[in-house]
Structures are given as structure tokens and as C-alpha cells.
Amino acid sequence: MGARSRLLAKLKAGEDIPGTGITLRRAPEQLELERRRPLSYYRRVLYFCGKCGQCRYVYQDAYWSRVCPSGELRKFEAYYLGGKNLLLWGLLSGKLEWTSKAAEILYHCTLCGNCVQQCQLPEIHNYALEWLHAARVEVVNRGLGPMPEHRRFGEWVRREHNPYMEPHSARLSWLGEKPKGKGEVTYFVGCTSSYRELEVAKAVVSLLKSSGVKFTLLEDEWCCGSPLYWTGQVDVVEELARHNARELEKTEAAVAVTSCAGCYRMLKQIYPEVYGVELSMEVLHISELLLKLVREGALQPERELSWAVTYHDPCHLGRHTGVYEAPRQLIGSIRGLELREMLRNRRNAWCCGAGAGVKSAFKQLASYAASERIREAEETGAQVLLTACPFCEMNLREAAEKAGSKIRVLDITQALSYSIKASRSEASQH
Ligand code: SF4
Ligand code: SF4
């Protein structure tokens, strides 16, 4: 046997090389894991984490930009993914105790997935979001969670079907006349556009009307379940999913469209994958539908807006469901808009800080993350920061106002609506 063959044989066997202190080992094959399993299922993989800290930075960019709002705010290892992995391994191995502090650390995270995007260990890259969510379910099962603010909105969703402490009867109060009859498209409005960011809902309805597409709304829309699901309050989510699916099917539309990235992920991914609730219609984000309508000529954004804009990728829409280009192409279809990308964009986008129960329970974290994003948007020289989710828009706008920033925060539906309305009013002047 030649030297090379001997070395390969040792490599296979994982032998020591005498006198060198080196043990040759082959890297294990990548483990195929199942999704949506209880936390204990992932125990053996948690210790794969090498605590190398790569998940703190965008390793693909020259500046090694930071990615984790939770860790960057607290500046303590436990709040980064590496620390959370070690914490969970300790908890599952019985080396650490389940305490309210452990629960607080696990909830102090937007589940944005930017850390997971950066980690190149396949099992962590592919599955860490599974255990970060499963950890919250475990915390709830152990009576250490959710956080009091989460429990409060959870009770309100059970009672009035929205997390904003608003009456269910006021859900459509922003809408003038409800579209009559059935439509090709059903607009699932979502709680944030129904109760807080009414301008987004109004822009969507105005655009659908302008396009001539026949559309309708649900007779009885309930919260999609996103805030409960991501805070580990999963017991009621299946009921919400089945209710909304029944209501959607009643409309007999070919397309269900959402303007909220969180609702989109629930209808498109969580309802079928977790609860087996398959819709017979196609689920689209509003950016995808509007882009199609613009390309078909049903919508004509003719008026030049002359704005330099930048675009914030909502985590639910980008990293979690892969819709990166439709919003950018829609922006590109509006004459006069110049898109200036932020350094951290698409898969590496810094989170707005609102999601997964953070805005209600950890206001400092939500505000810190959004103000960082506003600063990054300002660095592009853009006058307008566009996004494609009313929840991101709300958090970013509040941060811009708090910082006294001149940048204007808008949803892409609003920008398109201005362009269409402007062209219509211009036309009527001629
Ligand atoms: S999660 Fe990945 S990148 Fe982060 S410390 Fe662990 S191995 Fe390193
Ligand atoms: S999911 Fe986001 S907030 Fe949570 S640890 Fe990872 S990067 Fe930090």
C-alpha cells in the first residue's frame, strides 16, 4: 500500500497520525432532518454549532456587516444564534434549567433568519429556524411563555380575531362600499392593514379597481395566525387557518392576494405545510399580482414620481418565502423611481425589528433594529424607503419619526397608487 493509500485508509477510519496530535476524520454526511418537529428532535444537531460567530456577520460582503438585531443590541453571546444554540443544548441536556430568563432570551429574537442565512454548516443553515420556533412552543408548554404582551394579544385574537385590541366589527371600517359578487381575486387584508396601516388597504383596493380586475374581500376574515404561531401560541392557529381557508374557498376566486408579508407566509407556507390546509386557489403577494397587471397593461404607472428610493425586504417575504424580485421589478415599472439598494439587501437584509412578537414585548429591540435600518436607508441618499409589508412599514416609519429623519416610509402599493392616481388626475386636466 502506497503512502497516499495508507493516508486515505486512515482518513476513512478516523485514525490518529502518531506523533502529530492530528486525528484524521472525514466530515460527516449532511444530515437530512425533518421540519416542524418538537425541540427535543433537534438536540443532537445543536451541538454541531462551533460557536465560531460567523452568524453575526454578512460574510459575503466586504464590510462584514452585522446581521443580528438581538445580539447587537444586547452585546452578549446568548442573544446571537451561536449562544441560543448552546443555551438550547444545555437546556435539553439537563445541564441548564428552564427559567424565565432562558425564555426571555429565546423570545428576544425576531426569527428574521439572517443569522441562519450566514451560517454555512448545512444542518444549521437549513434547520435552525425550525428549532428557534420549536423552542418557543416548548417554552409555552412549560408555562414559561409566551411573554405577557403576547398572551394579551393572543387572548384578543381568540375573542375578536385580531391582535390590536380592536372590535372585530370594525375590521372593514376603512372600506367604503364593499365589492359586490364574486371575483377572480380575493384580497386578504390582514389585521395590520385593517386596523393600523389603513392607507395600504386603501391603496390595494384603489389599484385593483383601477386595473379592472374583478375582486372581492372575505365576508368574515380572521387574523391569519402569524403573531400567535411565531410566539409559540400554536394551539389556536389551526382553527384560524381552517376558518380563513373556508372563507377564501367560498369566494371561488382563482387568486388569493395579501398585502402583508406575514399573512402571505401563513397562507402560502404554514397553512399547507403545518396544518395540511391547502387552498384551491393560487396565493400571491400583492407585489406579484400588481407586477402582472402592470405587464399586461391593466395598470399604467405613467406619471414620473422623480424619487430616489430604496427597498427594504420584509423577512417573511424575502428570506422565508423567496420573493425578492417582484417588488423590485414593480418599483422599476414606475417611471422616475431610481432604486438605490442598501448594502444589506435580499438574503442579507437587516430585519426591521417588528416580527415574531418583538414589537409588543421588546420595544427597545424593535426600535433599535428599525433605527439602524433607517440609518442604512439614509446612507443610500434615497428620499423614500419602500417596503412590501404594513408591519415593517409601521415600525420603520415610527423609527424615522423618532429619529427626526427626512426619509419617507411607504408601502410599494402606495407608491404605485400615487403614480396611477397622478397620471389619472393629470389626464383629467387635459
Ligand atoms: S450558528 Fe453557525 S455561524 Fe453561528 S456560531 Fe454556530 S456554527 Fe458558527
Ligand atoms: S433570527 Fe435574527 S434576531 Fe434571531 S438570532 Fe438570528 S439574526 Fe438574531
> What is the atom index within ligand 1 of the atom nearest the CA of 53?
5
CA distance linking residue 314 with residue 260, whole number of Å: 9
> What is the atom index within ligand 1 of the atom nearest the CA of 54?
3
Q: Are residues 78 and 106 in the same domain?
A: yes
Which whole number is the average pLDDT over 20-25? 65
Which whole number is the average pLDDT over 7-31? 66
Give me ligand 1 centre to Cα 125, in Å. Answer: 9
Question: Which ligand ends up closest to the CA of 366?
Answer: 2
Query: How sure is the predictor about 430, in pLDDT bands with cuts at 50, 70 and 90?
Result: very low
pLDDT number for residue 27: 57
Which whole number is the average pLDDT over 237-265? 98
Residue 16 lies in a domain: no
For the segment 175-229, what is each residue's pLDDT rounded down to a tens digit?
988 888 888 999 999 999 999 999 999 999 999 999 999 999 999 999 999 999 9
Q: What is the mean pLDDT of the chain?
A: 93
CA distance linking residue 150 with residue 231, whole number of Å: 7
**Ligand 2 lined by 81 (C-beta under 6 Å):** yes
**Ligand 2 lined by 69 (C-beta under 6 Å):** yes
Whether the model pTM is above 0.85: yes
For the segment 73-104, what is each residue's pLDDT rounded down to a tens digit?
999 999 999 999 999 999 999 999 999 999 99
Instruction: Supply φ then ψ for residue 174, to 5 degrees.
Output: -75, -15
Q: Are residues 282 and 307 in the same domain?
A: no
**Ligand 2 lined by 67 (C-beta under 6 Å):** yes
Report the nearest-CA residue for atom 3 of ligand 2.
109
pLDDT number for residue 7: 64
Which whole number is the average pLDDT over 52-77? 93
pLDDT number for residue 39: 97
Report the nearest-CA residue for atom 1 of ligand 1.
82
Residue 17 lies in a domain: no
Residues with CB under 6 A from ligand 1: 49-55, 81-82, 85, 119, 121, 124
pLDDT number for residue 388: 98
Q: Are residues 210 and 323 in the same domain?
A: no
Q: Are residues 132 and 196 in the same domain?
A: no
Q: Is the peptide bond before 146 cis (omega within 30 degrees of 0)?
A: yes
CA distance linking residue 205 with residue 202, whole number of Å: 5
Question: Which ligand ends up closest to the CA of 53?
Answer: 1
Q: Are residues 182 and 260 in the same domain?
A: yes
Give me ligand 2 centre to Cα 110, in Å. Answer: 6
Share above pLDDT 70 across residues of the chain, in percent, rounded to a whole number? 93
Q: Which residue among 258, 293, 328 closes a domain? A: 293
**Ligand 2 lined by 110 (C-beta under 6 Å):** yes
Number of domain units in the chain: 3
Residue 20 lies in a domain: no
Q: Are residues 282 and 316 in the same domain?
A: no
Structural domain containing residue 334: 301-429
Q: Are 324 and 401 in contact (CB under 8 A)?
A: no
Q: Are residues 165 and 285 in the same domain?
A: yes
pLDDT number for residue 302: 82
Query: How sure is the predictor about 59, in pLDDT bands with cuts at 50, 70 and 90?
Result: confident
Q: Are residues 166 and 288 in the same domain?
A: yes
Which whole number is the average pLDDT over 306-313? 97
**Ligand 2 lined by 345 (C-beta under 6 Å):** no
CATH number of residue 270's parent domain: 3.40.50.1860
In our burial notation (b when 16+ CB lie closer than 10 A, e otherwise), range 300-316 reads bbebebebebbbbbbbb
Cell readout for 98 is 428552564
Give me ligand 1 centre to Cα 116, in Å. Answer: 8
What does the CA dihedral 148, 154, 155, 161 come to, rounded to 10 degrees? 150
Q: Are 127 and 42 in contact (CB under 8 A)?
A: yes
Residue 129 lies in a domain: yes
pLDDT number for residue 11: 59
Give me ligand 1 centre to Cα 320, in Å. Answer: 19
**Ligand 2 lined by 390 (C-beta under 6 Å):** no
Residue 338 lies in a domain: yes
Q: pLDDT: is 18 or 121 the higher one? A: 121
Residue 24 lies in a domain: no
Question: Which ligand ends up closest to the CA of 80?
Answer: 2
Question: Which ligand ends up closest to the CA of 67?
Answer: 2
Q: Which residue among 293, 312, 335 closes a domain? A: 293
> What is the atom index within ligand 1 of the atom nearest the CA of 80?
4
Residue 12 lies in a domain: no
Question: Which ligand ends up closest to the CA of 365?
Answer: 2
For the segment 319-358, what is each residue's pLDDT rounded down to a tens digit?
999 999 999 999 999 999 999 999 999 999 999 999 999 9
Q: Which residues contact 430 (CB under 8 A, 6 or more apart)?
A: none
Q: Are residues 320 and 386 in the same domain?
A: yes
Give me ligand 1 centre to Cα 82, in Å. Answer: 5
What does the CA dihedral 311, 258, 118, 80 come to, rounded to 10 degrees? 100
Query: How sure is the predictor about 10, in pLDDT bands with cuts at 50, 70 and 90?
Result: low
Residue 326 lies in a domain: yes
In our burial notation (b when 16+ CB lie closer than 10 A, e otherwise), range 284-299 reads bbbbbbbbbbbeeeeb
Asked which of 16-25, 195-204, 388-397, 403-412 is least confident by mean pLDDT, the reply is: 16-25
Mutate to test the pocket of ligand 1, among 30, 47, 81 (most ligand atoms within 8 A of CB): 81
Query: How sure is the predictor about 51, in pLDDT bands with cuts at 50, 70 and 90?
Result: very high
Report the nearest-CA residue for atom 7 of ligand 2.
68
